[in-house]
């Protein structure tokens, strides 16, 4: 079992429990009435993105389990909010499911208080967490700081002189660095980019000095010796990112910024369908071929009960709301 995050370990409990018991008890009823036509799996990000790759890794075995096609539909835009809103308004009949990330579920409500158009806790029902991954603090290969303490020391010596790349205000790449600024008492300059590939290119060129990045983009360049990873943002060391120390182990206890993907359905979807999907996802995430595909993205499978996923959304939403309110950040 992976040790890389207490979050992952806490939620990677066996799916066998109340939800699975319901699935076993109600499976004949669910199979008789549902599904009898293809199912739409909405991914609120572009084709080729990490959520898209995860969705396609799950869709094929899910189709075999349910006996109906599962068609991945990409509906990108607004950091995932557009596709998430679309799924939240779909008919709650089990024929629309959503695979999304933490941003639209836990930070977007605080960033878009007027214009979000959906309530993650009221308009969507949880199925299961899919997987978790820490972010990576990356700097240029020739950057003088070799660890987080040295990075903070340089930032304190020259307030405002160091800059960092983000994929936009309110993103995990922004909020993670804002959390470090607050805890370390430093001031950095944010440089927004359109995506992580552009950030790593600028880090390699030395145009920006740092960035909290998804490992799927960062680690290719780190392994090629073109950039250096100073830390990961899980509380514990990661099996999929071995040898990279945590922020917590470098003087910032409690520093955690985990990316996660999860599956939801529109609120009001019948309980027997929720239970059936939860059971199916749990079995799929235990498959070796799916684990390998997720490992290639630096994700660790973390199936959960619907109740555990609800708790995760509630707790994460509260935690990041405090950070966003402290920054006075609004994107409406």
Residues 45 and 90 in one domain: yes
Residues 75 and 165 in one domain: no
Q: How far apart are CA 268 and CA 124, in angstroms?
A: 8
| Element housing 21 (H / E) | helix 18-33
| Concatenated DSSP letters of 43-90 | ESS-TTSHHHHHHHHHHHHHHHHHTS-EEEEE---GGGHHHHHHHHTS
Looking at the structure of the chain, the number of domains it has is 2
Residue 332 covered by a domain: no
Report, as an integer, the average pLDDT of 284-294.
96
Judge whether residue 101 has pLDDT over 80: yes
Residues 92 and 155 in one domain: no
Residues 38 and 67 in one domain: yes
Q: Which of the four pLDDT bands, split at 50, 70 and 90, describes residue 43?
A: very high
Q: Which of the four pLDDT bands, split at 50, 70 and 90, describes residue 249?
A: very high
Residues 224 and 312 in one domain: no
DSSP label of 238 = -
Q: Which has the higher per-residue pLDDT, 296 or 30?
A: 296
* Residue at token pair 């950039």: 227
Q: Which of the four pLDDT bands, split at 50, 70 and 90, describes residue 14?
A: very low
Which pLDDT does position 217 carry in this prediction? Answer: 87
Residue 1 covered by a domain: no
Residues 39 and 69 in one domain: yes
Q: Which has the higher per-residue pLDDT, 239 or 313?
A: 313
Which pLDDT does position 5 carry in this prediction? Answer: 46
Residue 170 covered by a domain: yes
Residues 23 and 51 in one domain: yes
Judge whether residue 13 has pLDDT over 90: no
CA terminus-to-terminus distance, the chain: 42
Which pLDDT does position 32 carry in this prediction? Answer: 53
Asked if 261 and 131 count as a contact pair (C-beta separation under 8 A), the reply is yes
Domain boundary among 196, 219, 250: 250
Render the burial of 23-54: b for 16+ CB within 10 Å, e for the rest: beebeeebeeebbeeebbbbbbbeeebbbbbb
For the stretch 182-234, pLDDT in tens is 999 999 999 988 888 899 999 999 999 999 998 988 999 999 999 999 999 99
Domain boundary among 218, 250, 282: 250
Which pLDDT does position 11 carry in this prediction? Answer: 52
Residues 26 and 100 in one domain: yes
| Concatenated DSSP letters of 150-207 | HHHHHHHHSTTT-EEEESSTTSHHHHHHHHHHHHHT---EEEE-SSHHHHHHHHHHTS
Q: Which of 97, 12, 27, 84 is nearest to 294 (CA)?
A: 12
Report, as an integer, the average pLDDT of 10-29.
46
For the stretch 135-185, pLDDT in tens is 999 999 999 999 999 999 999 999 999 999 998 888 888 999 999 999 999
Judge whether residue 8 has pLDDT over 60: no
Domain span holding position 316: 6-133+258-327
């Amino acid at each position: 079992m992976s040790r890389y995050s207490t979050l992952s370990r806490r939620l990677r409990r066996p799916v066998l429990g109340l939800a699975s018991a319901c699935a076993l008890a109600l499976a004949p009823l669910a199979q008789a009435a549902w599904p009898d036509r293809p199912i739409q799996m909405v991914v609120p990000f572009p084709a080729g993105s990490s959520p898209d790759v995860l969705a396609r890794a799950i869709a094929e075995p899910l189709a075999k389990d349910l006996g109906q096609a599962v068609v991945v539909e990409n509906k990108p835009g607004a950091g995932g909010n557009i596709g998430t809103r679309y799924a939240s308004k779909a008919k709650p009949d089990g024929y629309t499911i959503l695979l999304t990330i933490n941003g639209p579920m836990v930070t977007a409500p605080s960033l878009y208080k007027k214009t979000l158009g959906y309530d993650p806790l009221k308009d969507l029902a949880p199925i299961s967490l899919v997987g978790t991954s820490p972010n990576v603090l990356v700097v240029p290969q020739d950057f003088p700081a070799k660890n987080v303490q040295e990075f903070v020391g340089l930032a304190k010596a020259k307030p405002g002189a160091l800059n960092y790349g983000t994929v936009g205000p309110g993103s995990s790449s922004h909020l993670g660095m804002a959390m470090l600024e607050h805890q370390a008492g430093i001031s950095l300059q944010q440089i927004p980019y359109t995506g992580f590939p552009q950030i790593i290119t600028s880090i390699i060129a030395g145009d920006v000095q740092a960035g909290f990045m998804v490992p799927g983009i960062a680690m290719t360049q780190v392994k090629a010796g073109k950039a250096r990873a100073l830390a990961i943002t899980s509380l514990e060391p990661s099996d999929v990112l071995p040898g990279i120390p945590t922020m917590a182990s470098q003087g910032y206890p409690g520093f955690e910024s985990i990316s996660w993907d999860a599956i939801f359905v529109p609120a009001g979807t019948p309980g027997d369908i929720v239970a059936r999907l939860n059971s199916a996802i749990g079995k799929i995430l235990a498959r070796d071929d799916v684990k390998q595909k997720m490992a290639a993205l630096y994700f660790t499978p973390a199936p959960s009960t619907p109740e555990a996923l609800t708790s995760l959304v509630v707790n994460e939403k509260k935690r990041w709301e405090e950070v966003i309110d402290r920054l006075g950040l609004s994107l409406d």
